[in-house]
Amino acid sequence: MALLDKFLPAAAIREQLSAGGHDPTQVVMERIISPTEGIVEGRHTILAGTNNYLGLTFDPSCVAAARNAIESQGTGTTGSRMANGSFSAHAALEQELAGFYQVDHGMVFSTGYAANLGTLVALLKPGDAVLLDADAHASLYDGCLMSGADIYRFRHNDVASLEKRLERLGARAQDCLIVTEGLYSVLGDCAPLVDIVALRNKYGAMLLVDEAHSLGVYGDTGCGVAEAQGVMDQVDFFVGTFSKSLGAMGGFCVSQHPELDLIRYVSRPFIFTASSSPSIIASTHEALKQLKSRPELRESLWRNATRLYQGFNDLGFETGPEISPVVAIKLGAKEVALPFWNQLLEKGVYTNLMVPPASPDQHSYIRCSVSAAHSEEQVERIIEIFGSLRGLLQDDR
């Protein structure tokens, strides 16, 4: 049994989470009514933690595109693109994504996680240097670890910390890769890409930006934080996912470098993973069209984000450093956050509980993600329910 003893700490975590009422990792959506509503344990629940930023999961055009693809191309590809070939829709989506980011080269992966792993293990090898933001997503960490490269973490969004590490690399800085996100998914803060790009140029490094949570949210056309900050043409690689604003599942990498096309030949997560089903590719392609043609979706999203952020601040909650569609409140100890999260669920609001080690520091957070599909009444109801539970935190203040 020694091989299985490693799961004892996980069992203890499960017991602790379950003792509070509901285990956050085991919540079952019994029925999804709309992008913002569902039935959880028989209760009508506002979904305020789904990352469905543009609310496109029920969009009639996206649903119709998925349905038509199933009827004409079947339910799945039954293999990898390397082995079974690519459907024309895969190539078309890659071209569309590359054009969207104003570059010439694009790749589509089966998940956002695979996109990060597949890109990083191809770009990096043992002996290479990668500089990684300390709060970067687990998939970025895992990709760097699996590559065997030398990993140098810099403090979250700290340009001075990044430059110190670049200086210490000396001549190796010219061959290193800087990895950051656009919008960070716990606190809702954005990377200072203008300053990071300046260091990229100064030291001759390359830059990869993960726009998973910022695609469809930032920028005049919705490309993300790099577009909003005016540095798109100085980012070497963009990675992202279809599972947020595009309402589906999958991931991508686009680049100005023609070498991206060669990643197909060396990236094991790409070579050995079944390609996305026709319905996913079709709904994603349609969602991208909706993103580009309906700027009012971003307007609604930002209106809701601003109201929720201000509402939480008016109630005295400690929120993230800036307004964004990711609105998190800091609750300190896990023993405080878990009952608070449980009470929210009991009152009909589904949110995300973030506790160490999943949180970026030693504190716990309740995280909301706002959608363009949330109504004004739903946003006000979320604020009202959070306010009704404010008293649970008095002893911790």
- How far is Cα 83 from Cα 97, in angstroms, rounded to an integer? 23
For the four alpha carbons of 377, 383, 389 and 391, in that order, the dihedral sign comes to negative
Contact 211, 190 (CB under 8 A): no
Catalytic residue among 22, 137, 244, 334: 244
Residue appearing with tokens 């830059």: 207
- Preceding omega of 357 cis (within 30 degrees of 0): yes
Catalytic residue among 22, 156, 213, 285: 213
Catalytic residue among 110, 139, 147, 185: 185
- How far is Cα 79 from Cα 59, in angstroms, rounded to an integer? 29
Provide the residue type at 324 as one letter. Answer: S
Residue appearing with tokens 């005295």: 316
Question: Any catalytic annotation for residue 330?
Answer: no
Phi, psi of 30 (to 5 degrees): -65, -30
Question: Any catalytic annotation for residue 185?
Answer: yes
Please classify residue 314 by burial: count the beta carbons closer than 10 Å to its beta carbon, then call 0-12 exposed, 13-18 middle and 19+ buried: exposed
Angle at CA 50, nearest 5°, toward 49 and 55?
A: 120
- Structure tokens, 99: 């054009």
Question: Any catalytic annotation for residue 161?
Answer: no
- How far is Cα 275 from Cα 382, in angstroms, rounded to an integer? 38
For the four alpha carbons of 348, 349, 350 and 353, in that order, the dihedral sign comes to negative
| Closest by Cα among 112, 111, 77, 107 to 95 | 107
Catalytic residues, which ones?
Answer: 185, 213, 244
